[in-house]
Amino acid sequence: GENVEQHPSTLSVQEGDSAVIKCTYSDSASNYFPWYKQELGKRPQLIIDIRSNVGEKKDQRIAVTLNKTAKHFSLHITETQPEDSAVYFCAACHSGNTPLVFGKGTRLSVIA
Amino acid sequence: EAQVTQNPRYLITVTGKKLTVTCSQNMNHEYMSWYRQDPGLGLRQIYYSMNVEVTDKGDVPEGYKVSRKEKRNFPLILESPSPNQTSLYFCASSPRSPSGVLKNIQYFGAGTRLSVL
């Protein structure tokens, strides 16, 4: 089955700097890669996703890149703000066939 | 309002006392799932259900049961809870596209924090 590794487990950045979180997956059949943000005491919420037919997707200050050959994908947050502080989870699956498999999460702290 | 509702939100119980955590969604989603979240371990899937009367084990099913008698409800049952089941539990649901393909975007409930003494 699918296995998703996520790094780093914790990340601290200064406000205004960029943050990058990286994930690798094991199943070459996986074709859907979402990212979830979980604020303290709240539920995970989808912030961005990418499918295997594209290499990059952007939504304002966040972007996700996918390298199918290397089987890794990354979340990029630019101009970080204190409200970006949260735990971020990557996930992977073969859309339509298999459940999502989550990484262990990255705790991002943005220091004002 | 479209939502996934879990109850209770907080529960303290003792070892061996059967309990049920309910999950209900009002979005007519076919797919429902239970996760547990533990520090450093992320979200681990306990059980999932692709549709009514169809359930499958996730990564950590031991000690748990589920049922899916109706589309909207997916209760999580702990027949004999143990302290290692102390955790934060999330229920989630996902829709299918008109063509029947699972969309995989998960809508999470607010979570149930369970302590087993």
Is there a contact between A64 and A48 (Cβ–Cβ < 8 Å)? yes
A4-62 pLDDT tens trace: 999 999 999 999 999 999 999 999 999 999 999 999 999 999 999 998 888 999 999 99
Kindly report the backbone phi and psi dihedral angles of residue B104, in degrees, each rounded to the nearest multiple of 5, phi listed first. Answer: 70, -10
Is there a contact between B11 and B115 (Cβ–Cβ < 8 Å)? yes
Q: What is the pLDDT of residue A100?
A: 87
Buried b (16+ CB within 10 A) or exposed e, A13-26: beeeeebbbbbbbe
Write the CB contacts of B71 (distance below 8 Å, at least 6 apart in sequence): B28, B29, B30, B51, B52
Is there a contact between B91 and B4 (Cβ–Cβ < 8 Å)? yes
Q: What is the pLDDT of residue A63?
A: 97
Set of chain A residues whose Cβ sits within 8 Å of the Cβ of B111? 43
Residue B100's pLDDT band (boundaries 50, 70, 90)?
A: low
Preceding omega of B98 cis (within 30 degrees of 0) = no
Q: Do B102 and A6 touch (CB under 8 A)?
A: no
Checking if the pLDDT of B20 tops 70, the result is: yes
Mutate to test the interface with B, among A88, A100, A101 (most CBs of B within 10 A): A100
Give how far B101 is from chain A: nearest CA, Å.
5
Residue A1's pLDDT band (boundaries 50, 70, 90)?
A: confident
Is there a contact between A35 and A47 (Cβ–Cβ < 8 Å)? yes
The amino acid that residue B58 corresponds to is G
Distance CA A109, CA A82 (A): 8
In a 13 Å sphere around the CA of A108, the CA atoms on its Cβ side amount to 30
Checking if the pLDDT of B69 tops 90, the result is: yes
Q: What is the pLDDT of residue A97?
A: 66
The burial class, CB within 10 Å (0-12 / 13-18 / 19+), for B5 is: middle
Q: Do B90 and A44 touch (CB under 8 A)?
A: yes
- Beta strands A19-25 and A72-77: pairing type? antiparallel
Written as six digits, the tokens of A34 are 């979402």
Binding-site residues on chain A for chain B (CB distance < 8 A): 6, 9, 32, 34, 36, 42-46, 49, 89, 93, 95-97, 99-105
A45, A99, A103 ranked by CB distance to B58: nearest = A99
A81-106 pLDDT tens trace: 999 999 999 999 887 667 889 999 99
Distance CA A92, CA A29 (A): 10
Question: What is the average per-residue pLDDT within B103-107?
Answer: 80
Chain A: residue nearest B44 by CA? A102
Question: What is the average per-residue pLDDT within B5-25?
Answer: 97
